[in-house]
Amino acid sequence: MAFDRTAESQASTLAAKTGERVAVDAATTDSSQVFANPDGTFTQESNAAPVRAQKDDGTWAPIDTTLVRKADGSVRAKNTTAGLTFSGAGSGAALVTLEDKGHELKLGWPTALPEPSLDGATATYAGVLPDVDLQLTALSSGYTSVLAVKTAEAAKNPALTTIRMAVSGSGLDIAPNADGGFVARDGNGSPVFESPAGRMWDSAGDSTATATATPGVTTQLARTATAEADGEPQATQTVPLPAAGGEPAPSEAPGSGDAAAELPLKVTGTALEITPDPALLHGDDTVFPLYIDPPTKGIALCDWTALASNGTKYWEFDGDKGVGHCSNYAGYLCASTPYTQRMYFEYPLSSIHGKKVRVTTVEAPCTAAIFWVGSWVATGKI
């Protein structure tokens, strides 16, 4: 975005007068802010995810994904970049409504819905199928929907062979993209909403964690290793390490050791289809609960992901993720299969085009390091 030169000049004058930096309000976006400094320079601070959203009166307020019940019975996120409403119960036709840039995207569930229980940003519709719960979680610019399949018997339900949801958008053309997801574009061809490919994962990593946990010590804190002559540690001695803090909750994303599969989405007319991997859905080694997740969100200028060499993708992950090589001696954190993981962040740079950039700083807090592994570090989102 281009800066408002008048606002920029006014902020610079005020900063020089007061000796303190002053925000250039006209340059504020959901993920960045510009400040005029007393010495005549400017500082732009950008985040990898939206941190604020504009309210109806035009003012900015911090992102708040907490869900609240409205007078009409629906459930709405308090303050997000795309307006987000979940069904309060009854017909599944309006399971989710996303509003952004004057457009609506609606997704429907094929059967009636129970009243959801609310916990922070998550609404849980218990028993949408026998022993299957539907969990919707609000994000800063969209939501995730997760089907929690609790048992192998529940996985045999024919309704899970292919999951069909209604999808529609006001003034939007909804079509599949090359990555196995879909994109909803307005009449000018500009993307308004998007979804990556879906994914599913089991709880194999959770069972590994339970089996190897040290009594009285959480799995995140318990790592084991001793060095042998060849330098390859073996899991024999408990070594207390800082909490990784980044392992997702089981229903949020696949964790270390979970079996996972990517699920391309199919868009046909007004239907969105997700076909679970039958080998994972009915596998003898599958550990339940099993989770099936197709997320959807508004288009953001910033983005982030983590990619592992074993094929696992953590699109817009929550919490922390490790980077580097995770070897097979790292206990629960890396399960039994070595892999390498990288993080990628995307920021818009058009606002600094033509500017003289004096200093650039990227902050990535390190929340845990497995020092005896030497090459694996868990970091927070930049």
Q: Is pLDDT larger for residue 257 or for residue 366?
A: 257
Whole-number percent of the chain with pLDDT over 70 = 76
pLDDT tens, residue by residue, 103-149: 999 999 999 999 999 999 999 999 999 999 999 999 998 899 999 99
Tokens of residue 131, six digits: 């022993």
Give the pLDDT score at 367: 59
| CA–CA dist 356, 9 (Å, integer) | 17
Spatial contact of 141 and 52, defined as CB atoms under 8 Å apart = no
| CA–CA dist 205, 211 (Å, integer) | 10
Q: How far is CA 135 from the centre of its chain?
A: 14
Q: Which residue ranges form the domains of the chain, and what is each CATH number?
A: 5-46 (no CATH), 51-202+250-300 (2.70.98), 204-249+301-382 (no CATH)
Whole-number percent of the chain with pLDDT over 90 = 50
Beta strands at 260-263 and 339-346: parallel, antiparallel or unpaired: unpaired
Spatial contact of 172 and 299, defined as CB atoms under 8 Å apart = no
> Which SS3 state, helix, strand or coil, does residue 140 take?
coil
Give the pLDDT score at 242: 33
Q: Is pLDDT larger for residue 78 or for residue 349?
A: 78
Give the pLDDT score at 302: 65
Give the pLDDT score at 326: 73
pLDDT tens, residue by residue, 279-313: 999 999 999 999 998 777 666 556 777 888 877 77
Q: How many CB atoms lie within 10 A of CB 352?
A: 16
Beta bridge partners of 34: 44
Among 30, 108, 155, smallest CA distance to 296 is for 108
Q: How many CB atoms lie within 10 A of CB 377?
A: 18
pLDDT tens, residue by residue, 192-248: 998 888 999 999 887 544 444 333 322 222 222 333 333 333 332 222 333 344 456
Instruction: Give the pTM.
Output: 0.76
pLDDT tens, residue by residue, 321-352: 777 777 654 444 555 567 788 888 877 777 77
**Least trusted range by pLDDT, from 34-38, 50-54, 315-319, 327-331:** 327-331
